[in-house]
């Protein structure tokens, strides 16, 4: 549990989710630049999060999952607030869609063709999608495509 004064929070967090999947082929995900996107079921593999909390700031040292369909990596920090939805994110998110998933999912095959210019700025040299994301966790997040930047925690 968080202390009453969130700024006093300290400690370590380690979370593992085995067999993480996302998408169900029906529900729409609201991803900025992509519109309402329906994602087929994707195997993301085992997700591992490691973070250190000091004075109410969670520094994400590793948040990663490299599954057969998607690779997911997150670095950055979260300034914890009460309620938790008010916590401020400052993270870099990198997602790579594996060829096997592109071949299996016609939605993925056409998705990138229909992508807006905002998504094009997020594309990396190796075909991943990379964003800096800031804002309140439960509010309006501000993603910015940063495909040309190295993958590292935001300053």
At residue 51, what are phi and psi to the nearest 5 degrees?
-140, 150
Number of domains in the chain: 1
Q: What is the value of pTM for the model shown?
A: 0.85
The answer to whether residue 150 is domain-embedded is: no
The answer to whether residue 155 is domain-embedded is: no
The answer to whether residue 125 is domain-embedded is: yes
> What end-to-end distance do the CA atoms of the chain give, in Å?
28
Per-residue tens of pLDDT for the chain, all 155 residues: 556 788 888 999 999 999 999 988 888 776 655 666 778 899 999 999 999 999 999 999 999 999 999 999 999 999 999 888 999 999 999 999 898 888 888 777 666 665 555 578 888 999 899 999 999 998 888 889 899 999 999 98
Domain containing 59 equals 6-145
Distance between CA atoms of 70 and 47, rounded to whole angstroms?
11
């Amino acid at each position: 549990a968080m202390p009453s004064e969130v700024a006093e929070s300290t400690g370590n967090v380690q979370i593992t989710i085995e067999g993480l999947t996302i998408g169900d082929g029906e529900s729409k995900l609201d991803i900025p630049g992509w519109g309402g996107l329906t994602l087929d079921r994707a195997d993301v593999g085992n997700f591992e999060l490691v973070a250190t909390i000091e004075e109410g700031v969670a520094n994400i040292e590793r948040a990663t999952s490299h599954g057969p369909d998607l690779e997911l990596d997150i670095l950055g920090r979260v300034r914890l607030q009460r309620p938790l939805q008010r916590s401020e994110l400052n993270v870099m998110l990198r997602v790579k869609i594996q060829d096997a998933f592109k071949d299996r999912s016609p939605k993925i095959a056409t998705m990138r063709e229909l992508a807006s210019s905002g998504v094009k700025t997020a594309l990396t040299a190796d075909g991943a999608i990379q964003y800096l994301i800031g804002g309140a966790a439960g509010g309006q997040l501000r993603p910015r495509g940063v495909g040309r930047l190295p993958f590292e925690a935001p300053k």
